[in-house]
Amino acid sequence: MEPSNSSISDRSLGELLGNSLTSTPCANVRKDARVKVVSGMLSQYLESFTDSVVVRDMTTPIGVVGGREIIQGVFKNPTSDFFELNFVEDIADKRLKVISADLSLKKLISIWKEVKRAFALINLGNDDYSVISAKKLMEIGANYESDFHISEIPKKKIVTLNQGATFGDAIKLMLENKSRKIILHETNQFINDRIIIESIEKFNFLLNQRNFLDIPLGSVALEEVLKINEDLTLSEISKIMYNRSHPLVIYEESVITPWDICLALEKI
């Protein structure tokens, strides 16, 4: 896509994404479902285009649950009680935003900053909704040619875990740094909220498991960071990250996440 006369961030989502804007279905869960149910759903949806699960009161969306809500709950109560006794409504983030196709990209990112979650719904009518998340915006980054290079993305310190770290160590660091991905020190491996939730599911949602937070991360398969040496354009890095299941890139000792792509789009 060639640049238009207007700034990309001032253009509408409908103009930038076309029919793709409403192509991602909404994953739903009843407000009275147990946390175990939504956790099982998140092990499939996290870091996909859907990314989080919408909580409904009958047909009305009333909140959203993502990896953050699950790992926060597990850190406070690392037992099966958290999953078996709590309802989805109890942990849902009620700051769920419903947007329209004529909303500008700049306004969407502003909303996401406000609610601290890169997720929103688009009303399709008849109680049907589609989802837009950070991964969807990488389509814009991939299709829009600009002179913006990844060297212009503000550098961020790489937060790492010591080898031999536990699930508890990882979750604590994620919550402290408001990060969904933590790299294992002196390796190219990282853990994220999806891996943690997948592990919890394998442990039968911690039934008869009293020491989950003390289990070493070495007991599970981690994901690999992609290291980039070339100063790629925003379009080039977006295409690469768009096609990765767990997009995380290191360039010049700094990490690049899908959220960094969103913030870069906001500037051009």
Instruction: Going residue by residue through the chain, which has 268 residues, state the pLDDT in tens, using 9 for 90 and above.
Output: 444 567 999 999 999 999 999 999 999 999 999 999 999 999 999 888 889 999 999 999 999 999 999 999 999 999 999 999 999 999 999 999 999 999 999 999 999 999 999 999 999 999 999 999 999 999 999 999 999 999 999 998 899 999 899 999 999 999 999 999 999 999 999 999 999 999 999 999 999 988 999 999 999 999 999 999 999 999 999 999 999 988 999 999 899 999 999 999 999 9
Q: What is the pLDDT of residue 76?
A: 97
Tell whether 22 and 113 lie within a shared domain. yes
Burial class of 26 by CB neighbour count within 10 A (0 to 12, 13 to 18, 19+): middle
Residue 45: partners with Cβ closer than 8 Å, 6 or more residues away: 27, 51, 52, 53
Tell whether 191 and 261 lie within a shared domain. yes
Residue finishing a domain among 136, 163, 187: 136
Strands 223-224 and 226-228, bridge-based pairing: unpaired
Tell whether 128 and 155 lie within a shared domain. no
Q: What is the pLDDT of residue 153?
A: 97
Q: What is the pLDDT of residue 50?
A: 86
Q: Is residue 159, in this structure, part of any structural domain at all? A: yes
Q: Is residue 143, in this structure, part of any structural domain at all? A: no
Q: Is residue 145, in this structure, part of any structural domain at all? A: no
Q: What is the pLDDT of residue 6?
A: 75
Q: Is residue 50, in this structure, part of any structural domain at all? A: yes
Tell whether 56 and 18 lie within a shared domain. yes
Q: What is the pLDDT of residue 47?
A: 86
CA distance 178 to 58: 32
Q: What is the pLDDT of residue 24?
A: 95
Q: What is the pLDDT of residue 4?
A: 53
Residue 71: partners with Cβ closer than 8 Å, 6 or more residues away: 171, 174, 175, 193, 196, 197
Residue finishing a domain among 136, 169, 193: 136
Q: Is residue 2, in this structure, part of any structural domain at all? A: no
Residue finishing a domain among 78, 109, 136: 136
Distance of CA 78 to the CA centre of its chain: 22
Q: What is the pLDDT of residue 264?
A: 97
Q: Is residue 97, in this structure, part of any structural domain at all? A: yes
Q: Is residue 3, in this structure, part of any structural domain at all? A: no
Tell whether 94 and 171 lie within a shared domain. no
Q: What is the pLDDT of residue 157?
A: 85
Tell whether 107 and 175 lie within a shared domain. no
Query: With contact defined as beta carbons under 8 Å apart, do 56 and 28 qualify?
Result: yes
Q: Which two tokens stand for residue 29?
A: 């869960």
| Model-wide pTM > 0.85 | yes
Range of the domain at 128: 8-136
Q: Is residue 239, in this structure, part of any structural domain at all? A: yes
- CATH number of the domain to which 43 belongs: 3.10.580.10
Distance of CA 141 to the CA centre of its chain: 17
Tell whether 113 and 30 lie within a shared domain. yes
User: What are the φ and ψ backbone dihedral angles of 18, each rounded to 5 degrees?
Assistant: 60, -140
Count how many domains the chain has: 2
Residue 202: partners with Cβ closer than 8 Å, 6 or more residues away: none
Tell whether 228 and 177 lie within a shared domain. yes
Tell whether 166 and 72 lie within a shared domain. no
Tell whether 175 and 130 lie within a shared domain. no
Instruction: Compute how many other C-beta atoms are within 10 angstroms of the C-beta atom of residue 207.
Output: 12
Q: Which two tokens stand for residue 43?
A: 């092990």
Tell whether 182 and 222 lie within a shared domain. yes
Q: Which helix (H) or strand (E) holds 75?
A: helix 67-76
Tell whether 190 and 93 lie within a shared domain. no
